[in-house]
Structure 1
Amino acid sequence: MSTTPTQPVTRDQPEILKPSSPVRDRYFDLLRALALFRVVLYHLMGWAWLPLVFPSMGVMFALAGNLMARSLRSRPPLHVVRGRMRRLLPPLWLLGAVGVTGMLAQGWGPDAEGHPGWWWLHLTFWILPLSDPPYAEGLAGIQGLVGEDWAAELAGPLWYLRAYLWFVLLSPFLLKALRALPLATILAPIALSAAFEFGYLALPGERFPSALTDFSTFGACWILGMAHQEGVLKRIPQYVVPSVAPAIACLGLWYALEHGFRQGHDLDEIPFAQSVWSFATVLLLLHLSPSWTEWPDRLRHWRRLITLLNTRAVTIYLWHNACILVAATLWDRLWNVDVLADQYAWLLESPWPVLVLVWLLIGGCVVAFGWAEDLAARRKPRLWPDGAERGRTAKHR
């Protein structure tokens, strides 16, 4: 049995964030770390139930919206948008420099889309991802190291950067709308998703409808994060959210089950169900948000790992699909060892050793490419920013 991943690239992938320090952010850091780990696990295993247990992307968009609203309260909108774009783009450019160079080396070029002029224009989306950056389809891999169609795996996660960029650009307007009409603003994306789902509105064009789909699917989560920061959710009686959120989640789950939700057919293929389920889960998680000035005892031993995952969230997110492909390709080579194939087939069929190898490769990417996040944040580049140095400094004060 081959361990090469067959799960299609989905939209289940993390937020562009700086490590946070205020009171509530330790809880948010934990949510980010869980979401990032769950993303990697899902893209290797392909278990359709994982997005139900923890809808990572809804959570990540909510945390990003919360951070965006916090910044907009104290700084001019133009400065905030420019700062978010500065943190987003350099890691993308580094990925593009590696990926596009590799695609060009394998023969990808201006004739790939049949219109050389459009190819050059679309290539600019690797610089500013207002739409999906193009990539070469059906490329051969490197025998024994990288599987086929590696470019699609490399470019797959970029939908999140595109969606994040659009949310950032819209945030100043969304915040004004939220302050004026809180309930209508929060529910508007779900209403838009329903309009697309039931045919009341049609997605226009060919290249940009994906941005509208992203907004209708995850926009309510982003705005919920902003509403949490603005104190809107605190004005709701305490009993309302625990009473209403489960019912909303059940509606989303029911709709998903009625429309073919199963293994290999995840929530991303049912945007309306995704929007409702993610909204309900995020609403409940924000309602339960504890105030952690220090890490709880049961999490204290994990604080360095959580810090690392948050500090290098962009790098891990951008490179994890490629790491999965490389890990699976390398693991499959062990089938050529007769002793292993005959005596330990059960081990070669198991995805768990591949998961370990994936995280080792991700660790290598953190060391090799993580410096781009530091430069984007105007920090001194660090190889392994898990907070250990900061902890030692604090002890000696």
Structure 2
Amino acid sequence: MKTTPTIRCGLAANPSPLSGAARDPFLDAIRTIALLRVMLWHTFGDPVLTYVIAAVPTMFFVAGSLLAKSLDRRPWPRVLADRARRILLPLWAFAAVAFVAMRVAWLLDPSPRTAVPWRSIIFWIVPLGDPQGSAWEGGWMSQPLWYIRATFWLFLLSPLLRSALRRFGLVVFVPPVMAVFALDVLTRNPAVTIHAAPELLWQIGDLALYSIFLMAGFAHRDGRFAHLRPSGWFGGAALAGIASTAWILTQPVPLHVVNNSHPAHLFVGTAWLCLFLACRAPITAVAMTSAGRAIVGWISLRTMTIYLWHSTAVILTYQVLASGDDRPPGVYAAAMIAGMVSITMVFVVAFGWVEDLAARRRLLVCPLLVASGDSPGDRAPFAAHRRSVYRFVGVPSLAGVLLLGGCAFMTQPMSGEAAAAADGAVGGAVDGGVVASRVAKKPPVPSQAPPRPEFERAPSTSAPASTTSERRAAVVAPAATIAPAAPLAPEADDALATAIQRTVDEWRARWNVPGIAVGVVQPGSLSWRGASGADPVTGAAVDVDDRFDITSITKTFTGTLVFQLAAEGSIDLDAPLPRLVRVPDFPYAAGITVRQLLTHRTGLVPYRDTRAYAAAPDAIDTPDKALAAALLEPLQFAPGTKSAYSSTNFLVLGFLVEEVTGLGYDALLEQQLFEPVDLRSTTHSPPSALAPNFATSGIVTDTADLLRWGIALYRDHTVIDVVGLAAMHQIDTSTGLGPAVYGYCPCTIDDSGREHWQWIGHTGGTTQLAYSDTDDIAIALNVTDSLWLENRGRAVAELLTLLRAAVLGATPRAAIPSFS
């Protein structure tokens, strides 16, 4: 007799093999919803998503209900052995690929950034702690594995928790709930730190929080909630929602992400779980439709594989799409989803069979749906299996590849006649609508070294022409006191201002830049400031007086303080670094000089490339912690032998100038630089999570003040004497790095071997300051996304050339090969 079809599916890291009794479609459905939400969160990183479906609490609730069923039917040692096998085998397969990838990255570029963390391999084998990857993988392969650690801990404790619930009833929930709030108080107190295991308190908080939802699953299996009607669950959801709102308003969660606060996660998780249970009937009905059975059944058999591999699929998709800066609204988001899903499906086909092996099922390349009329051992014939592969993997993967390719094509910047023809079509198209299509919100793109210079042979001349700075050097002696700031030049006339604005507008549209604020000045001749486009986050039009974080251009201020102290004899640039009271254990003091710190020739690892930062970037919230993270890594090379950009160098310089002067860094900025140069719109931000700031970043200003700073520094010797400025011009021609300065091409070399940079200055994450001593022109600009996107360096080089041509009335250069 033929019965109503039901789905029997395997479950990664949960009980009930395929041959067991029919599964509860409601539980499988809400776990599927939760897993899909996790994938979206990792794809886009928008904090709002953490408030939409509490994914991890839901998954532990489902795991608890299914685990209780197994513990009731079999001895607990057998259950734990089965669960451990289902967790560990897929993890080991993933770990093997991860370590091969990290090893290959190290072989291609041996450095601390790519060093394989062999010491943490034990946690990839037995996840009693969080597995750690190299800084190269940036956490995309390792950071989601905290969930595997939490799952492993709770499965090991599940027999005790199950026994406690049966013996003490619902009162067993009181201790973990109290622990959640107590641990939150402890983790908020910076004085409470376990130095040997700084993440241990948080991990215990994970254990307390998710044990609540695991035991709620136990109680659900026991029927303890069976008497509650949907109206009761809706009431519970409302109460939990009110509690969530009250907690978040009074105890703001870090970075606005629910997952970063255990109490907030408890409230939000409870609200969503109550809402799911209130809607059990419609959710079950949808799950039992043909499409629902197919989707839920397929995902249920590959839950662990999907979770392990989807974040790798996300970063691979992001790398494919990262070449463009702006996309038609919605296309980028759709392409990210399509790419993530299609690449995840490829991983499922390649590695999903490991879940079958772990569950001791027949190995399947693609899971099949089994109707209840079949015997437990029945499987579809090979032809049907092949059709399933085509249907569930081939078609979506092909669609994803096509959409990825289409989006990549549409995001390529245009040039030449195509760009000119499209100017009218794209002008003004950048607005807030683009925001929704962008990838996950991350910390600002860190500053990097300048593009590698390429020098061209200059035309022969009888004598090299002197630069503006050199002509002044002949008559300007080192100043004993800080001179007043030079006034800015008169504003450009209307005709020239209109022409420059049109040039900036056309450039922005041609290169798909969301928004830009820019200023140009030729002292004694003219000045102009303008803006174009919009901020992609707020959708607001960029204003000429907007203030922005110049990030690593802060290093020019730090370098100036160092040169001031060197001019008065308080610092010897070429002597070994003195012992620093604030960093008494600094191991390289005797082997590193101040000049090497200024020129990035120390070998110190960038703090963002350390294992500590990759494991817990939010925890690096002070300059002391950032330096400590860097000092845990070996030097990239022997000091003085190479150049490699590293913000860590300027953290050390900040500690040095504080110690020499006895003043704090912010006080030095105000006293020695901000006030003498009359920087009225300039401030310095304190350290914060992800941004230790201090002497390496954090100054906030506008284009007017940034131009004034450039003139004072590079032209008028207001803050630095001639000797210091000459030292600043000693730029490494192989890297473009100098002491707190970058050199920008076009670059030339004359017959005598003397090199010349068209521009000197510095670049931050979104900001660039450039000064041409040949033409006596300074330019300051700030884009609203990043200067480190692909082709953005070339675009900015073109803009500098266009602005220079507008000021000089010259014809812009046709090509700038050094930025290609």
The two structures share one fold, judged by TM-score above 0.5: yes
Q: 1:112 to 1:279 in 2, by over 3 A?
A: farther
Within a 5 Å distance, the mapping from 1:65-144 to structure 2 comes to 65-107=64-106, 122-137=120-135, 139=136
Q: 1:256 to 1:367 in 2, by over 3 A?
A: same
Instruction: Give the C-alpha shift of residue 390 in structure 1.
Output: 8.3
Match of 2:360 in 1: 378
Match of 2:139 in 1: 152
Question: Which of the residues 252, 269, 273 maps onto 1:260?
Answer: 252
Match of 2:316 in 1: 326
Match of 2:580 in 1: none
Match of 1:143 in 2: none
Q: In the aligned structure 1, how far is the partner of 2:171 from the partner of 2:316?
A: 46
Question: Which of the residues 181, 199, 202 maps onto 1:194?
Answer: 181
- Whichever residue aligns with residue 134 of structure 1, its letter is Q
Within a 5 Å distance, the mapping from 1:1-397 to structure 2 comes to 16-17=13-14, 25-107=24-106, 122-137=120-135, 139=136, 150-199=137-186, 204=194, 205-234=197-226, 240-261=232-253, 264-286=255-277, 288-290=279-281, 296=286, 299-333=289-323, 335=324, 345-346=327-328, 350-387=332-369
- Larger displacement relative to structure 2 (42-51 or 32-41): 42-51
Q: In the aligned structure 1, how far is the partner of 2:12 from the partner of 2:147?
A: 8
Q: Deviations over 1:84-131 (max 9, x none)?
A: 0010001100111011122223339xx979xx9xx6553211110000
- Whichever residue aligns with residue 211 of structure 2, its letter is G
- Whichever residue aligns with residue 131 of structure 1, its letter is G
Instruction: Give the C-alpha shift of residue 349 in structure 1.
Output: 6.5
Match of 1:6 in 2: none
**Alignment RMSD:** 3.5
Structure with more of its chain in helix, by fraction: 1
Instruction: Give the C-alpha shift of residue 161 in structure 1.
Output: 0.7
Q: 1:238 to 1:389 in 2, by over 3 A?
A: closer
**Structure number with bigger Rg:** 2
SS at match of 2:106: coil
Normalising by structure 2, we get a TM-score of: 0.40
The 8 Å contact of residues 131 and 207 in structure 1, kept in 2 or not, is answered as no
Q: In the aligned structure 2, how far is the partner of 1:330 from the partner of 1:136?
A: 22
Normalising by structure 1, we get a TM-score of: 0.79
Q: In the aligned structure 2, how far is the partner of 1:174 from the partner of 1:291?
A: 31
The 8 Å contact of residues 261 and 267 in structure 1, kept in 2 or not, is answered as yes
Q: In the aligned structure 1, how far is the partner of 2:112 from the partner of 2:271?
A: 42
How many aligned residue pairs are there? 359
Q: In the aligned structure 1, how far is the partner of 2:295 from the partner of 2:333?
A: 22
Instruction: Give the C-alpha shift of residue 157 in structure 1.
Output: 1.4
Instruction: Give the C-alpha shift of residue 237 in structure 1.
Output: 7.9
The 8 Å contact of residues 65 and 218 in structure 2, kept in 1 or not, is answered as yes
The 8 Å contact of residues 187 and 220 in structure 1, kept in 2 or not, is answered as no
- Larger displacement relative to structure 2 (321-330 or 46-55): 46-55
The 8 Å contact of residues 132 and 159 in structure 1, kept in 2 or not, is answered as yes
Q: In the aligned structure 1, how far is the partner of 2:46 from the partner of 2:373?
A: 37
Identity %: 27
Instruction: Give the C-alpha shift of residue 387 in structure 1.
Output: 1.3
Q: Deviations over 1:105-163 (max 9, x none)?
A: 3339xx979xx9xx6553211110000112111x1xxxxxxxxxx25101121111100
Q: In the aligned structure 2, how far is the partner of 1:167 from the partner of 1:81?
A: 11
The 8 Å contact of residues 19 and 310 in structure 1, kept in 2 or not, is answered as no
Q: 1:159 to 1:239 in 2, by over 3 A?
A: same
Instruction: Give the C-alpha shift of residue 233 in structure 1.
Output: 2.1
- Whichever residue aligns with residue 166 of structure 2, its letter is R
Q: 1:258 to 1:76 in 2, by over 3 A?
A: same
The 8 Å contact of residues 19 and 29 in structure 1, kept in 2 or not, is answered as no
Unaligned runs of 5+ in 1: 1-13, 140-149, 336-340
- Whichever residue aligns with residue 123 of structure 2, its letter is F
Unaligned runs of 5+ in 2: 1-10, 382-820
Q: 1:356 to 1:53 in 2, by over 3 A?
A: same
- Larger displacement relative to structure 2 (183-192 or 369-378): 183-192
Q: Deviations over 1:339-395 (max 9, x none)?
A: xx8xx8316962211111111101100111111111111112111114179899799
Q: In the aligned structure 2, how far is the partner of 1:346 from the partner of 1:84?
A: 46
Q: Deviations over 1:44-63 (max 9, x none)?
A: 12232223221111100000
Instruction: Give the C-alpha shift of residue 284 in structure 1.
Output: 4.4
Q: In the aligned structure 1, how far is the partner of 2:286 from the partner of 2:313?
A: 32
- Whichever residue aligns with residue 59 of structure 1, its letter is T
Kindly indicate whether structure 1 or structure 2 has the higher relative contact order, using CA contacts under 8 Å at least 6 residues apart: 1
- Whichever residue aligns with residue 301 of structure 2, its letter is T
